[in-house]
């Protein structure tokens, strides 16, 4: 023994004190899987004494289920292979803890004599990662890395989930990721990929297509990780899902466009009839004594018609605002659609043939019914030509109103957006006729709100346009002795 060296028993005791004060679980199991020694943390975890553990088979300590789960790692350690794995364990006190275990083979000249066990309690780290993942998921944020040398891309589980991929699957290759980018943004992302492989930082927005076909808007930002020599060894990035932000921005832009269009419409389409009404009333006021009875009546009728037109436009605006705010309510009742059509004909000043095969009472909000028929007939008067034919009948629990004109019809290119808000054809008669562009949109939305539908048909002879509105038959029927309306004749 070297002079001044600590006696071996004291060294052993010092090592035991050191191991017993480690927070990790430390033990040694021989080749027969019998315990040789373990530290104090190991004993506390399982709630046993040194005498109880010494010589115990590892199966008896772990229990049958945990032993079966760990058996492949035990066999690996006895085969001389270092084992590392994670486990969720329950302590003797009933606490659930996350652990990382290592089985380290004890190699001798004769082979593997046993293995050391080192178990670290990583509960705090796991819970911190879980909290971070939850916060990232809530914020729509995830991380990624790019190896500028190999081009290897690694996406965090949060980014994989953001892109509609299974977090348990491996990250896509860079080529696979670029292929998932929206086609309109793909060239720009390819250029960014080249910059990344040269170790450049970047920040950008683009769109990706998820496997289910939906579009996600993402914001991506990278920063460089430099090696000791100053070279870029890694690009580390953060990606944020901005799909909801983009949706809100689109909704705000749509609302702003709606307000702008409404203001423009009020300033043009509503100003005209109001100005005309005021003009007629002003003539009546200033020239009343100089006008004969027929002239007075004519001016009153004109003022009444322009006032009615203003009232209809205001009703359309209120309906449009309610639809846009998702606050449209219906108060359905039994409504005679023939009577509504007669009134709408007066407003549109149309000469038409109206036929009715059956009682035409629909279960619909009467105000909405008036707006539907008014807009249909005004649309026909503006863009169609005589003769105008309207048929009303009952079919499979619905009242069907079919309007046919003999104008130039709807341009084929305009058919897909014909019922969209503020859409107007740019060719044919529509290009020369003033209009708001939301008449047919209101017809569709008001019909839907009342459980009905509207559609356009190209007549068999290819001339003009035909619109069909279907509304539910009234729940309450007129008295049985009520006369069936006679077919209407040309007006």
Domain boundaries, the chain: 8-121, 140-241, 247-324, 333-472
Q: Which residue has the higher pLDDT, 181 or 347?
A: 181
Q: Answer whether residue 439 shows pLDDT above 90.
A: no
Nearest by Cα to 310 from 341, 272, 345: 272
For 166-179, write each residue's pLDDT tens digit: 888 888 888 888 88
Question: What is the per-residue pLDDT for 412?
Answer: 78
Judge contact between 174 and 153, C-beta under 8 A.
Answer: yes
318 membership: H or E segment, kind and range: helix 293-324
Nearest by Cα to 445 from 382, 337, 371, 386: 371
For 58-110, write each residue's pLDDT tens digit: 999 999 999 999 999 999 999 999 999 998 888 888 888 889 999 999 999 99
Q: Which of 15-24, 50-59, 275-284, 351-360 has the lowest mean pLDDT?
A: 15-24
The tokens describing 387, both together, are 């003769």
Ramachandran class of 151: left when φ > 0, alpha when ψ lies in -120 to 50, beta otherwise: left
Question: What is the per-residue pLDDT for 83?
Answer: 94
Question: What is the per-residue pLDDT for 316?
Answer: 66
Eight-class DSSP state of 473: B
Residue 391 phi/psi, 5-degree rounding, is -120, 140
Judge contact between 196 and 204, C-beta under 8 A.
Answer: no
Confidence of residue 295 (pLDDT cuts 50, 70, 90): confident
Question: What is the per-residue pLDDT for 426?
Answer: 52
The topology (CATH level 3) of 8-121 is Beta-Lactamase (3.30.450)
β-strand pairing of 25-30 with 111-121: antiparallel
The topology (CATH level 3) of 140-241 is Beta-Lactamase (3.30.450)
Instruction: Give the pLDDT mean for 439-454.
Output: 88
Q: Which of 69-78, 296-305, 381-390 has the lowest mean pLDDT?
A: 296-305
Confidence of residue 153 (pLDDT cuts 50, 70, 90): confident
- Segment of 125-134, 218-227, 263-272, 471-480 carrying the highest mean pLDDT: 218-227
Question: What is the per-residue pLDDT for 481?
Answer: 45
What CATH code would you report for 247-324?
1.10.287
SS3 call for 161 = helix
> 24 CB contacts (<8 Å, ≥6 apart)?
41, 118, 119, 120, 121
Is there a shared CATH topology between the 140-241 domain and the 333-472 domain?
A: no
The topology (CATH level 3) of 333-472 is Heat Shock Protein 90 (3.30.565)
For 110-126, write each residue's pLDDT tens digit: 999 999 999 988 888 87
> 370 CB contacts (<8 Å, ≥6 apart)?
315, 340, 343, 344
Residue 413's CB: how many other CB atoms inside 10 A?
10
Cis peptide before 319 (omega within 30 of 0): no
Average pLDDT over the chain, rounded to an integer: 81
Nearest by Cα to 405 from 441, 443, 431, 377: 377
Residue 394 phi/psi, 5-degree rounding, is -110, 135
Our CA angle for 345, 348, 353, nearest 5°, is 40
Beta-strand runs (E) in 147-214: 153-155, 203-209
Question: What is the per-residue pLDDT for 136?
Answer: 57
Q: Answer whether residue 487 shows pLDDT above 50.
A: no
Q: Considering the chain, what percentage of its residues have pLDDT values greater than 90?
A: 24
Q: What is the DSSP code string of 31-45?
A: TTSBEEEE-HHHHHH
Question: What is the per-residue pLDDT for 222?
Answer: 86
Q: Answer whether residue 455 shows pLDDT above 50.
A: yes
Q: Answer whether residue 472 shows pLDDT above 90.
A: yes
Alpha-carbon span 432 to 419, nearest angstrom:
19
Confidence of residue 198 (pLDDT cuts 50, 70, 90): confident
Eight-class DSSP state of 270: I
Q: Answer whether residue 154 shows pLDDT above 50.
A: yes
Question: Distances in Å between the alpha carbon of 131 and those of 27, 97, 121, 124?
Answer: 32, 16, 17, 10
Residue 206 phi/psi, 5-degree rounding, is -160, 180
Question: What is the per-residue pLDDT for 313?
Answer: 64
Question: What is the per-residue pLDDT for 177?
Answer: 86
Q: Which residue has the higher pLDDT, 202 or 273?
A: 202
Question: What is the per-residue pLDDT for 488?
Answer: 37
133 membership: H or E segment, kind and range: helix 123-139
C-alpha dihedral sign at 163, 167, 169, 171: positive
Instruction: Give the pLDDT mean for 32-39.
Output: 93
Question: Distances in Å between the alpha carbon of 488 and those of 6, 371, 468?
Answer: 121, 21, 19
Residue 42's CB: how many other CB atoms inside 10 A?
23
Q: Please compute Rg for the chain using Cα positions.
A: 41
Residues in the chain: 491
Q: What is the DSSP code string of 2-26?
A: -TTPPPHHHHHHHHHHHHHT-SSEE
- Segment of 22-31, 139-148, 245-254 carrying the highest mean pLDDT: 22-31
> 420 CB contacts (<8 Å, ≥6 apart)?
441
Q: Which of 104-113, 260-269, 316-325, 389-398 has the lowest mean pLDDT?
A: 260-269
H-type helices in 207-270, by residue range?
A: 243-265
Eight-class DSSP state of 92: T
Alpha-carbon span 440 to 419, nearest angstrom:
5
Stated pTM of the model: 0.42
Burial of 344 (0-12, 13-18, 19+ CB in 10 A): buried
Alpha-carbon span 335 to 354, nearest angstrom:
17
């Amino acid at each position: 023994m070297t002079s001044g060296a600590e006696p071996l028993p004291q060294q052993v005791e010092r090592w035991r004190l050191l191991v017993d004060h480690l927070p990790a679980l430390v033990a040694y199991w021989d080749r027969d899987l019998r315990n040789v020694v373990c530290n104090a943390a190991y004993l506390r975890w399982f709630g046993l004494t040194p005498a109880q553990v010494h010589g115990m088979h590892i199966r008896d300590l772990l229990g049958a289920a945990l032993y079966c789960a760990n058996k492949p790692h035990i066999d690996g350690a006895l085969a001389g292979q270092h084992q590392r794995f994670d486990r969720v364990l329950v302590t003797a006190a009933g606490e659930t803890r996350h652990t990382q275990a290592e089985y380290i083979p004890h190699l001798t000249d004769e082979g593997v004599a046993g293995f050391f066990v080192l178990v670290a309690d990583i509960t705090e780290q796991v819970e911190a990662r879980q909290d971070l993942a939850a916060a990232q998921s809530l914020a729509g944020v995830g991380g990624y890395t790019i190896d500028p040398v190999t081009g290897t891309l690694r996406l965090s589980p949060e980014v994989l989930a953001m892109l509609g991929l299974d977090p348990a699957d491996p990250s896509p290759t860079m080529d696979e990721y670029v292929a998932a980018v929206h086609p309109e943004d793909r060239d720009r992302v390819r250029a960014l990929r080249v910059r990344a492989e040269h170790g450049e930082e970047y920040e950008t927005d683009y769109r990706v297509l998820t496997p289910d076909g939906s579009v996600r808007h993402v914001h991506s930002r990278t920063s460089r990780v430099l090696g000791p020599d100053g070279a870029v060894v890694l690009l580390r990035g953060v990606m944020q899902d901005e799909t909801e932000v983009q949706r809100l921005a689109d909704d705000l832009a749509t609302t702003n466009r709606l307000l702008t269009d409404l203001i423009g419409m009020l300033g043009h389409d509503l100003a005209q009839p109001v100005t005309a009404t005021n003009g007629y009333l002003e003539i009546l006021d200033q020239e009343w004594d100089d006008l004969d009875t027929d002239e007075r009546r004519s001016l009153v009728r004109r003022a009444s018609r322009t006032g009615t037109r203003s009232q209809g436009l205001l009703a359309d605006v209120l309906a449009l605002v309610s639809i846009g705010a998702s606050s449209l309510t219906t108060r359905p009742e039994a409504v005679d659609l023939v009577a509504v059509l007669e009134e709408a004909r007066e407003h549109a000043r149309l000469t038409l043939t109206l036929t009715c095969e059956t009682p035409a009472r629909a279960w619909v909000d009467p105000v909405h019914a008036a707006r539907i028929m008014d807009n249909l007939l005004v649309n026909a008067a503006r863009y169609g030509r005589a003769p105008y034919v309207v048929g009303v009948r009952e079919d499979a629990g619905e009242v069907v109103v079919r309007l046919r004109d003999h104008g130039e019809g709807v341009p084929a290119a305009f058919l897909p957006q014909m019922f969209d808000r503020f859409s107007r054809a740019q060719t044919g008669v529509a290009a020369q006729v003033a209009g708001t562009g939301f008449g047919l949109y209101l017809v569709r939305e008001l019909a839907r709100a009342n459980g009905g539908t509207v559609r356009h048909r190209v007549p068999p002879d290819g001339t003009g346009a035909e619109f069909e509105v279907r509304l539910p038959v009234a729940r309450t029927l007129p008295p049985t002795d009520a006369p069936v309306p006679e077919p209407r004749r040309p007006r």
